[in-house]
Amino acid sequence: MRNILVVEDSPLVLKILEKMFHQQPDLQPLFCATMAEAQLMLETSAELLFAAIIDLNLPDAPNGEIVDVVLHYQLPCIVLTGSYDEQRREEMLLKGVVDYVQKENQYSFDYAFRLLHRLERNRSIKILVAEDSPATRHLIRNVLRSHLYQIHEAEDGEQALRILREQPDFDLLITDHSMPGLSGFELTKLLRQKLKRHDLCIIGLSADSKGSLTAQFIKHGADDFLRKPFCPEELTCRVTSTLERREMLQALQRSAQIDSLTNLYNRRAFYEQAGHLLQAAERTQRPVSVAMLDLDLFKRINDNYGHASGDAALIGFAGLLQAAFGQTLIGRLGGEEFALLSPLPAQQLSAQLDQLRQQCAGVQYAHNAPPLSFSAGVYQGREDLSHLLHQADLRLYQAKQQGRGRCCLELDGQAAAPTIA
């Protein structure tokens, strides 16, 4: 829950905001009608507040004095105003407000709430500014910090490259084109040899008026380009747009890899990740263990209690696997079939699966339903993935033949047989 200070004296606007906050359960508004009320709130509870939405013209602060009061407490501030003034807008943005929003229609209020949610995401985003001009670095830092980004600075391309090598978790690089030594253009080309767009976003900067420079930057890997001098609003819009495109790409990649029901890797992603792990194991000459798991008599759950109960069983079982084997590669290969790939010895992995069995019986998936159980086959070796899974699958079949609800490590015979549900 995030507490939002709202300073507004218009009954109509308050009614709109109250309705919108009611639809946002993660946001808790604290309403004030005057600057005096807001000052008291800030003096006593500023550390409990996440951000502020304020009216620019209040009865006891008709000229926007409330902005300085809120910014004094380093609180992200979204300004609402009933009239648009270009000079006032520039003044507010340079002071460090998040944005200057005119109260025109429903979209304006929707936009203000999008900003609040964006601020929460921004807190975890790291931005590196590579710029040899101290004044430009200062401007970028002040503008972006008001949006709660984590800002780091580099004075030239070499320093930026060194920082990125030491700290590979940056989300965005903003780089000037003309810097002593390694230019921003060369820095971009170097970085794109190893880092893809979903790894690191890049925005180029330049005071050069040649349009071809924009094209060159983007052709060689930049996500966007900004020409100097720029206004604070243009900078924040470009940064937000670039990061949102990255988030959309990451969401698409996730949807292609993650099973939407259980939140585990799907078959394709499991095979891809397992291939990388097996290559690493081959380099160190270490065997790996593979387990094939199957929920027992799953068809009866769907037939007797409905598919919603079957889904609940799958979700509950997947949750137990993630809790018990957090550092292990886990995938849902299809239906009620799961797979694990682990560096643990086969006997230890089998013992942990046996320990999981009691918890599995406690999964509540349908009223008066029998305890949930699973069978498993475990195999350890250094072969390719197909062979490992095949051997684990043979042992899974044998576990079912022996009465289900158990793990099998050793085969009585190598002959495969039809699958038992």
Does residue 261 lie within any of the structural domains? no
| Closest residue by Cα to residue 318 from 269, 375, 261 | 261
pLDDT band at 413 (very low <50, low <70, confident <90, very high): low
Which CATH number covers residue 283?
3.30.70.270
Does residue 416 lie within any of the structural domains? no
278 shares a domain with 215: no
pTM for the predicted model, two decimal places: 0.72
- Give the whole-number percent of the chain exceeding pLDDT 90: 74
| Closest residue by Cα to residue 41 from 76, 6, 81, 79 | 6
Structure tokens at 76: 């992200």
Asked whether residue 268 carries a pLDDT value surpassing 70, the answer given is yes
pLDDT digits (tens, 9 = 90+) for 213-246: 888 888 889 999 999 989 888 999 999 999 999 9
190 shares a domain with 139: yes
Number of other residues whose CB lies within 10 A of the CB of residue 398: 20
Which CATH number covers residue 246?
3.40.50.2300
Does residue 417 lie within any of the structural domains? no
Does residue 260 lie within any of the structural domains? no
111 shares a domain with 95: yes
Does residue 420 lie within any of the structural domains? no
The stretches of 28-174 forming alpha helices (DSSP H) are 35-45, 65-72, 86-95, 106-122, 134-145, 157-166
The predicted pLDDT at position 418 comes to 42
285 shares a domain with 244: no
Which of 120, 146, 179 is a domain's end point?
A: 120
| Residue whose pair of structure tokens reads 């109509």 in the numeric block | 12
56 shares a domain with 142: no
Which phi and psi angles does 392 have, rounded to 5°? Answer: -65, -35
Does residue 413 lie within any of the structural domains? no
107 shares a domain with 195: no
Residue numbers of the domain that contains 168: 123-255
Using CB atoms within 10 A of its CB, is residue 42 exposed (0-12), middle (13-18) or buried (19+)? Answer: buried
Structure tokens at 17: 């905001």
pLDDT digits (tens, 9 = 90+) for 196-205: 888 899 999 9
User: Would strands 374-381 and 288-295 be described as parallel, antiparallel, or unpaired?
Assistant: antiparallel
| Residue whose pair of structure tokens reads 């990388």 in the numeric block | 276
The half-sphere exposure of 147 on its side-chain side, counting CA atoms within 13 A, is: 28
Letter string b/e over residues 349-368, b meaning 16 or more CB atoms within 10 A of that residue's CB: bbebbeebbeebeebebbee
The predicted pLDDT at position 416 comes to 44
Number of other residues whose CB lies within 10 A of the CB of residue 83: 9
Which of 203, 220, 255 is a domain's end point?
A: 255
pLDDT digits (tens, 9 = 90+) for 6-60: 999 999 999 999 999 999 989 999 999 999 999 999 999 999 999 999 999 999 9
| Amino acid making up residue 6 | V
Q: What is the average pLDDT across 116-143?
A: 94
The predicted pLDDT at position 91 comes to 87
Asked whether residue 421 carries a pLDDT value surpassing 80, the answer given is no
Between the alpha carbon of residue 401 and those of residues 103, 329, 333, 396, 412, the distances in Å are: 70, 27, 21, 9, 11
Q: How many domains does the chain have?
A: 3
284 shares a domain with 387: yes
CB 230 within 8 A of CB 206: no
CB 380 within 8 A of CB 391: no
pLDDT digits (tens, 9 = 90+) for 165-179: 999 999 999 999 989
Q: Starting from the edge strand earliest in sequence, which strands make up the sheet with 2-7, in order?
A: 27-32, 2-7, 49-55, 77-81, 99-102
pLDDT digits (tens, 9 = 90+) for 74-117: 999 999 988 878 888 888 888 889 999 988 888 899 999 999 99
pLDDT band at 419 (very low <50, low <70, confident <90, very high): very low
Q: Distance between CA atoms of 350 and 342, rounded to whole angstroms?
A: 11
pLDDT digits (tens, 9 = 90+) for 345-402: 999 999 999 999 989 999 999 999 999 999 999 999 989 999 999 999 999 999 999 9
25 shares a domain with 104: yes
| Closest residue by Cα to residue 289 from 347, 374, 375, 336 | 347
Asked whether residue 257 carries a pLDDT value surpassing 80, the answer given is yes
365 shares a domain with 339: yes
Does residue 14 lie within any of the structural domains? yes
The stretches of 258-383 forming alpha helices (DSSP H) are 267-284, 298-305, 307-324, 346-361
Structure tokens at 410: 């050793």
CB 64 within 8 A of CB 57: yes
Asked whether residue 415 carries a pLDDT value surpassing 60, the answer given is no
Length of the chain: 421
108 shares a domain with 17: yes
CB 204 within 8 A of CB 228: no
pLDDT band at 207 (very low <50, low <70, confident <90, very high): confident
Does residue 418 lie within any of the structural domains? no
234 shares a domain with 199: yes
29 shares a domain with 82: yes
| Closest residue by Cα to residue 202 from 230, 168, 225, 227 | 225
Which of 65, 97, 120 is a domain's end point?
A: 120
